[in-house]
Structure 1
Amino acid sequence: MKYRELIQDMTLEEKASLMSGKDFWQTQNIDRLGIRSMLLADGPHGIRKQAVGSEQPGLNAGDPATCFPTAATIANSWNKDLAEKMGEYLGKEAVTQNVNVLLGPGINIKRNPLCGRNFEYFSEDPYLAGKLAAGMIKGIQSQGISACVKHFAVNNQEERRMTIDAIVDERTLREIYLTAFEIAVKEGKTKSIMTSYNRLNGTYTNEHLHLMQDILRSEWDFKGVVVTDWGGSNDRIAGLLAGNELEMPTTAGETDREIVQAVKSGKMKEEVLDECVDRLLELIFTTNEVFNKPHFEFNVEKHHRVSQKAAEESIVLLKNEDNILPIRFGRKVAVIGDFAKDARYQGAGSSIVNPTILDHTLNCFEESGIVSIGFEPGFERYGKRDRKKIEKACELAKKADVVLLYIGLDEVTEAEGLDRHSMKIPKNQIDLLNALNEVNPNIVAVLSCGSVVEMPWIDKVKGLVHGYLGGQAGARSILRVLSGDVNPSGKLAETYPIRYEDTPSYHFPGKEVSVEYREGPFIGYRYYDTAELNVLFPFGFGLSYTTFEYSDIQVNHEGVRFKITNTGKIAGMEIAQLYVGCKSKDIFRPKKELKGFSKIFINAGETKTVTIPFDDKTFRYFNIKTNKWEIEEAEYDIMVGASCTDIRLADTLFVEGTGAPLPYDKEELPTYYSANVHNISLEEFETLLGRKAPNPKWDRTKPLGYNDTIEQCQYAKGVSGRLIYFAIIFVHWFLRKIGKRSIANLIMMSFYHMPFRGIARMTGGIVNMPMLDGILMMVNGRFLKGLVHILKERSKMKKSPKTGNIGKRKL
């Protein structure tokens, strides 16, 4: 241990105190030993250091900070260097705000298009997500602070996220859901990781010995700190034994006492606690070093320009019929859509940033060179139908050469804590589009949202520009693409299916207790491509104002080399993608998988040579019999393309294997070998899983306990429990009715799906676990006994001395 002498000088109580937060955002300090607090802050795409003070919980406004593009947006850039540059500037701002640990990036895989937090994640592909995350981590940590990669692991839905049990087979877990984290740890060298709320195959992730010890610590050699998600600690001692050092936020000393008692009783060896303290001290001391040096306020304008550059490279041109784009000089443009007036630029939840500057489309036209003849909102932002707005928009559209129609999803549709109900954009926007198409077919739609949407209306537009959620400079960036000042170079980091029912995980978001990942590794393009299912836009797709030609492929055991020529008339950037497919049919696999990529700038008429090396992930698969990564001896298709379906060059390569036994019996898993995983039977899934899947339904006969949710109060034995449930349902309905949708969402996120233990874990000691026992008595039908118990425990708590960095010096 690095800090052995310091740890020997601590009391047991002091060691325990370091394992939980001092308040909602800070870690504990021990002044007599020179141990300072750390400040943690949300920040996947911008710092959210709450202006009200670090002691306050909730989603309060943060100090002004640059709102960069969200992860879903920057993923479309396919530019590792750009992700690193963005991380560097995030790190600079964190230092100016005295933030030690920046809670991001989020790298969970986009298993399903409806996950409410998809805007905060990179991709459906773990290799792309991992490489971009590693770049961002390097940038953040280059400034002396720590990134905190989240949410480890298999957190792919928001509904019931604090209790849901993700049932995943080991191979799918390793190949799909852990690979991005592996890259973040091994290549990004992240100093901290945040565990997810959910259970994985029956065990909460922060208590999961296989996940936390076998894989994270032993296999990946992670030496850093593991932090719970806020309120995500279930059993504090089980978490420490698994190596989860820091519990956030504070529990006002309650879990400190649990730790002390566990050591004294022999339930946990003090050496285990010492190791956790040692790792935490390393993070505290190394991240606090930067604050010993002078630092200055960041340059707001410069950071805004970096945000703009990131947005520009991430914009995806999806359709350009008749070369309607870029908009030619002198053409009269009608600007329609509420999102043009008030830009949609970020998601909702803990990642909300209070921007330093905010560009809006209507304020940026003069510098774009595009001639606007007027603006009409055209629709009500939150879905209410308004015929008069449509009529006014159509009158304006009649006078224009081109209609710029700004549409998308509103701020409360994509939000932390909630999943979307469909892939559709609001009907009132489609009604407007249909009406506009009748009076002027020259429509360019500008789409603003952070996740996949259905587009049955796409034939009604000639141009489609997808800006995703481009941060505070996103609106100006889109205009620069529309005008031709910027040649679009973004490509989709996720597949756009024709309809939601085509997705392999469309039985989403799982049942009451668990969600079964029956599709195995066949998610996103891995499914559509292998099952030969048509999609609207494939993974890796994106148009340019120029054209590129691929030639002269050369493949050897080190990698692939080829040439790209810009055959158009203007300079541009191309994203070349390397896919690999195994020709053997002995082990079921996707038809092809992304194994490398390169983004390269090429002038008009110029030819450049591109080299994409193979790495340790190019040919591997996880073998459940040997319990390790293996290589199947076979011929492999080596494919280079402009998207996963637009393969321009191909060759084959024979690769020697590791001689591992075949992991599966083909006859037992026929559907997986056919890749037709849309309707996997429970029996076949359990064969893949290697065990029985748990009952996905709640046991309504049992009394409610710590890990049951407020939602389950609808079945409570006590009248008070059912009243709580119906009160929350009514308040949620009423808030939506009066237009307070953000608050209504917060009700669902913070109360409806929260387990009872969350009441104790998230209230900073106002309610402790003994008081929670009283609450459970009340909802389970023993109202008076529970009330007396609460009052008794509350009285005890008021009389007990406050704990914290208390303890006598060891002699």
Structure 2
Amino acid sequence: MSDWNVPADRPEYAEAVEAALAKMDLDTKADLLAGRDMWRTIPVPEAGLRSMTVSDGPIGVRGRFWTVADPSLALPSPTAQAASWDPELVRRIGNLLAAESRRKDVDVLLAPTINLHRSPLGGRHFEAFSEDPYLTGRIAQAYVAGVQECGVATTMKHYVGNDAETDRFTVDNVIGERTLRELYLRPFEMITAAVRPWGVMTAYNSVNGHTMTAHKELMAVLRDEFGFDGFNVSDWGAARHTVEGVEAGLDLAMPGPFTVYGKALADAVREGRTSEAHVDAAVRRMLTLAARVGALEGVRAAVDGRIEAIADVKALLREIAQRSFVLAQNDAPDGDSGPILPLERDAIGRLALIGPAAAEARILGGGSATVFPTEVASPLDGLLKALGDRVHYAQGVDLFEQILAAAKGFDLKVRPVRKDGSELPAEPLANGDVKWMGYLPGDLPQDEFSHAVLDGVFTVAETGDHVFGTRGFGHHKLVIGGETVFDADQDYTGDDPFEAFFGPGVERVTLHLEAGQQIPVRLEFTPFSFPPGFPPSVLFGLMHTAPRPDEDRLIAEAVDAARTADVAVVVVSTTALTESEGFDRPDLRLPGRQDELVAAVAEANPRTVVVVNTGSPVEMPWADDVAAILLTWFPGQEGGHALADVLLGAEPGGRLTTTWPRRLEDAPVVQVVPRDGELRYDEGIFIGYRAWEQRDGYQPAFWFGHGLSYTEWEYEDLAVEPDSVRVRVRNSGAVTGREVVQVYLAPEAGLAIEGGIETHRLAGFAAIEAAPGETVEVAIPLEERSFQYWSEADHAWRTVPGAWTVAAGRSVADLRLRAHVKH
């Protein structure tokens, strides 16, 4: 295991915490636990406590302000980060995120997400690492260590069982004791043991009848058994119970200040419904957090100094993306002597690049993980830079699903207006969405705010019918070209506040416009009220749809481009309406007519490479008809340059962290919709590859751990030592390459374990590099826990006795070496 540099508390912390606590009265303590606004805690100057700022992650650090005026780096998605199978690389990711946090004056990063890929339908799948608890735990250890060794706190989230989005506020996830321990709690246990995380975030959902923000039993497991000594923050709006929450160990109910704490908590103490000792315990943990991050006067932070800015950030983002890409398929087209990838740069006279996501990069999933980078390299940008005018682009299909925030051709800004009619300075917008979440620009008091004005100019690129619309709960006055086209209320009737924030736009008017026109646009928005329970937030949008093209023509143009090219590269993707926080997926199909597009291009040119730009599995009915499939996840802002690198010879370093089904109906776990308020995890420990191996007659498209290389690897020897496995591998190919050596344990056939036992379980791995002909030997530690299961009869871990097979290879389905051990 890696020797993590875990910051230790300073000896003076305990005394300083008690001294600060003694300077607070009950009301102040209760207010501290209630939060100040959307992203900050209150300061308590008399106790030497400054305000602390938390920020959403995990692919970037947004900070307090959700605006292009405060840009952030956009890293590859967590699924991509984990696909590197490289804790040291992920540790560097943590360092980068810590530097970003410090740049934005953030004390706590609300990350990493360590829920599991229970089902491929999970809408937030892209934000979690893996279907496997061991891999999730190892990657998350590195993430937390990398952030916290630079003095920024993390929060493991979402504790626990937030593995789907449907009815997430009300669902009761019914999970067996063994399943909880072996799968869903295991990453939290691993992180706590190895790197001492400073925070945890408790989830919206309930588990076995108790909401997680007031789940005394499971918080006791985390604190008393695992040894977690950090603070516990609710997911935003998740805290529902005052007394039950504080007595279960919920320390901070966010967002503030209108939470179940504050006055409600102080009243509960005064009325004798709970003890002030519970309040004090929570405040001590908040003060300890403050000491660790440098927010408490009189003591030094756990980490001295501020981390220096990372040199050549773009190069690091590009490296992370390259190391995450999974080469899933690489065949030799008819007439070729070898696999199609990598492409020979000098042999390419014409490359057809096809697909809307090739030009409009899809770099991240939807929801609270969204950030605004200053620049984004699309696949088209990357390949044009690498190959110049040899690249010929064709859109191929139209991925229109519904009206979206105004973007292409719009130059927009937004400003708040006071009740007296005076206006604050305007700030620029990346698109038509305005998200003042928990604040008003200029720290404008809520009672002084009247309305917001979004205005700017739309430069028309295409002649035809343009549709304009609105989004947001309030009164809209939409003016296009000086004419008021809509002046009325827009209501919201749902029960998920995130739908009110991010819900669909509504079409208001269709106007015929000519290319080249410059049309002034203006949207005045007055919210009916501020969202209940949340700090003042203004959330609305100007929506737009360009004229819809003839898709038959687009596909025909793409086929023509492919037919005359030496190679065709088709980029397929999901959309913000496919993969996002707030909802699960109804199916695994690519949106629109993308499957039809790939099939048509492959028929026209057998030298077709498909780049799958998604955060989670999709069906690929054309897989057998294309030469290569490269999975690039959501690759972050440098993804386009990384793609060009890999297509032209840089090693694709990624391996799958989750099993990809051929069809949804083949997947072992597809139930993500609660029934009568409950989502039952009846599959037990059998999710992902553990489940696939139990199912005769079913083969996935690609197994867990799968990923091809541009070289060849020979597995030469495996030796089992008392607490490790030594594996020797040789690069038998012609180029330097990267391999992920994976070690699995398999129990002796016929072992009678209550509830069954897996065919294989991941027990260790190591990422290596080797030059042609070079041999590398790696020692991979084995943990005692890998030979154990959780006994529901004894409520304890028990070692599985008997013979075990130790196997090493390139994936769970490609194991090259085996040895036997008695345990």
User: Does 2:730 align with 1:573?
Assistant: no
Change (3 A) 1:572 1:234: same
Q: 1:438 Cα deviation (Å)?
A: 2.7
Partner of 1:637: 805
Q: Secondary structure at the match of 1:134?
A: helix
Deviations 1:658-677 (A, max 9, x none): xxxxxxxxxxxxxxxxxxxx
Does the CA-based 8 Å contact 1:95-1:291 persist in structure 2? no
User: Does 2:339 align with 1:346?
Assistant: no
Does the CA-based 8 Å contact 1:308-1:473 persist in structure 2? yes
User: 2:316 is aligned with what amino acid?
Assistant: V
Q: 1:370 Cα deviation (Å)?
A: 7.3
Partner of 1:133: 140
Partner of 1:206: 213
Distance in 2, matches of 1:343 and 1:460, equals 25
Partner of 2:652: 488
Partner of 2:76: 69
Q: 1:191 Cα deviation (Å)?
A: 0.3
Query: How do 1:328-343 and structure 2 match up within 5 A?
Result: 328=344, 329-331=346-348, 332-343=350-361
Partner of 2:380: 362
Equivalent pairs counted in the alignment come to 645
Distance in 2, matches of 1:458 and 1:206, equals 44
Does the CA-based 8 Å contact 1:496-1:538 persist in structure 2? yes
Does the CA-based 8 Å contact 1:345-1:474 persist in structure 2? yes
Does the CA-based 8 Å contact 1:382-1:410 persist in structure 2? no
Deviations 1:87-140 (A, max 9, x none): 101001101110000010101001000111001000000100111011011111
Distance in 1, matches of 2:788 and 2:68, equals 45
Partner of 2:227: 221
Query: How do 1:177-188 and structure 2 match up within 5 A?
Result: 177-188=184-195
Distance in 2, matches of 1:62 and 1:554, equals 56
Does the CA-based 8 Å contact 1:330-1:370 persist in structure 2? no
Does the CA-based 8 Å contact 2:398-2:592 persist in structure 1? no
Query: How do 1:278-297 and structure 2 match up within 5 A?
Result: 278-288=284-294
User: 2:154 is aligned with what amino acid?
Assistant: A
Q: 1:381 Cα deviation (Å)?
A: 2.5
Does the CA-based 8 Å contact 1:333-1:371 persist in structure 2? no
Question: Which of residues 20, 28, 41 is equivalent to 2:42?
Answer: 28
Partner of 1:308: 318
Deviations 1:735-760 (A, max 9, x none): xxxxxxxxxxxxxxxxxxxxxxxxxx
Distance in 1, matches of 2:604 and 2:110, equals 49
Change (3 A) 1:358 1:271: same
Structure 1's unaligned 5+ residue stretches are 52-58, 656-811
Distance in 1, matches of 2:382 and 2:260, equals 54
Distance in 2, matches of 1:427 and 1:64, equals 31
User: Does 2:637 align with 1:472?
Assistant: yes
Larger mean Cα displacement after TM superposition, 426-435 or 12-21: 426-435
Does the CA-based 8 Å contact 1:333-1:370 persist in structure 2? no
Distance in 2, matches of 1:359 and 1:298, equals 22
Change (3 A) 1:409 1:254: closer
Partner of 1:526: 690
Deviations 1:305-363 (A, max 9, x none): 21111111000001111111111122221111111111111111100011133112222
Q: Secondary structure at the match of 2:166?
A: coil
Q: 1:153 Cα deviation (Å)?
A: 0.3
Distance in 1, matches of 2:586 and 2:178, equals 30
The two structures, once aligned, show a CA RMSD in angstroms of 1.8
Deviations 1:240-271 (A, max 9, x none): 10111011011347631221122223322222
Q: Secondary structure at the match of 1:497?
A: coil
Q: Secondary structure at the match of 2:701?
A: strand
Partner of 2:604: 439
Does the CA-based 8 Å contact 2:241-2:260 persist in structure 1? no
Q: 1:392 Cα deviation (Å)?
A: 1.1
Q: 1:185 Cα deviation (Å)?
A: 1.5
Partner of 1:672: none
Q: Secondary structure at the match of 1:102?
A: strand
Q: 1:467 Cα deviation (Å)?
A: 0.4
Q: 1:194 Cα deviation (Å)?
A: 0.3
Partner of 1:395: 560
User: Does 2:315 align with 1:150?
Assistant: no
User: 2:83 is aligned with what amino acid?
Assistant: N
User: Does 2:328 align with 1:318?
Assistant: yes
Partner of 2:487: none
Which structure shows the bigger proportion of residues in helix conformation? 1
Q: 1:147 Cα deviation (Å)?
A: 0.9
Distance in 2, matches of 1:62 and 1:539, equals 40
Q: Secondary structure at the match of 2:816?
A: strand
Question: Which of residues 73, 84, 92 is equivalent to 1:85?
Answer: 92
Distance in 1, matches of 2:303 and 2:766, equals 39
Partner of 1:9: 23
Partner of 2:475: none
Distance in 1, matches of 2:729 and 2:91, equals 25
Q: 1:223 Cα deviation (Å)?
A: 0.6
Partner of 1:659: none
Partner of 2:752: 586
Distance in 1, matches of 2:302 and 2:745, equals 46
Q: 1:50 Cα deviation (Å)?
A: 3.9
Deviations 1:655-703 (A, max 9, x none): 1xxxxxxxxxxxxxxxxxxxxxxxxxxxxxxxxxxxxxxxxxxxxxxxx
Distance in 2, matches of 1:370 and 1:575, equals 34
Which structure shows the bigger proportion of residues in strand conformation? 2
User: Does 2:550 align with 1:550?
Assistant: no
Does the CA-based 8 Å contact 1:550-1:564 persist in structure 2? yes
Distance in 2, matches of 1:296 and 1:135, equals 17
User: Does 2:290 align with 1:122?
Assistant: no
Q: Secondary structure at the match of 1:535?
A: coil
User: 1:345 is aligned with what amino acid?
Assistant: I
Query: How do 1:760-799 and structure 2 match up within 5 A?
Result: none
Change (3 A) 1:373 1:217: closer
Distance in 1, matches of 2:673 and 2:191, equals 27
Distance in 2, matches of 1:548 and 1:444, equals 23
Question: Which of residues 674, 679, 689 is equivalent to 1:515?
Answer: 679
Partner of 2:458: none
Does the CA-based 8 Å contact 2:355-2:572 persist in structure 1? yes
Larger mean Cα displacement after TM superposition, 109-118 or 28-37: 28-37
Q: Secondary structure at the match of 1:496?
A: coil
Change (3 A) 1:558 1:488: same
User: 2:678 is aligned with what amino acid?
Assistant: S
Q: 1:460 Cα deviation (Å)?
A: 2.1
Does the CA-based 8 Å contact 2:268-2:274 persist in structure 1? yes
Does the CA-based 8 Å contact 1:529-1:645 persist in structure 2? no
Q: Secondary structure at the match of 1:641?
A: strand
User: Does 2:582 align with 1:417?
Assistant: yes
Change (3 A) 1:262 1:495: same
Partner of 2:262: 256
Change (3 A) 1:74 1:398: same
Distance in 2, matches of 1:460 and 1:372, equals 25
Does the CA-based 8 Å contact 2:149-2:303 persist in structure 1? no
Q: Secondary structure at the match of 1:549?
A: strand
Distance in 2, matches of 1:350 and 1:574, equals 34
User: 1:120 is aligned with what amino acid?
Assistant: E
Does the CA-based 8 Å contact 2:713-2:731 persist in structure 1? yes
Q: 1:149 Cα deviation (Å)?
A: 1.3
Partner of 2:247: 241
Distance in 2, matches of 1:258 and 1:103, equals 26
Partner of 1:703: none
User: Does 2:206 align with 1:38?
Assistant: no
In the superposition, the TM-score normalised over structure 2's length comes to 0.76
Q: 1:552 Cα deviation (Å)?
A: 1.7
Does the CA-based 8 Å contact 2:384-2:391 persist in structure 1? no
Q: 1:558 Cα deviation (Å)?
A: 1.4
Partner of 1:804: none
Distance in 2, matches of 1:637 and 1:347, equals 39
Deviations 1:443-485 (A, max 9, x none): 100110001111111122111111011100111111101001x
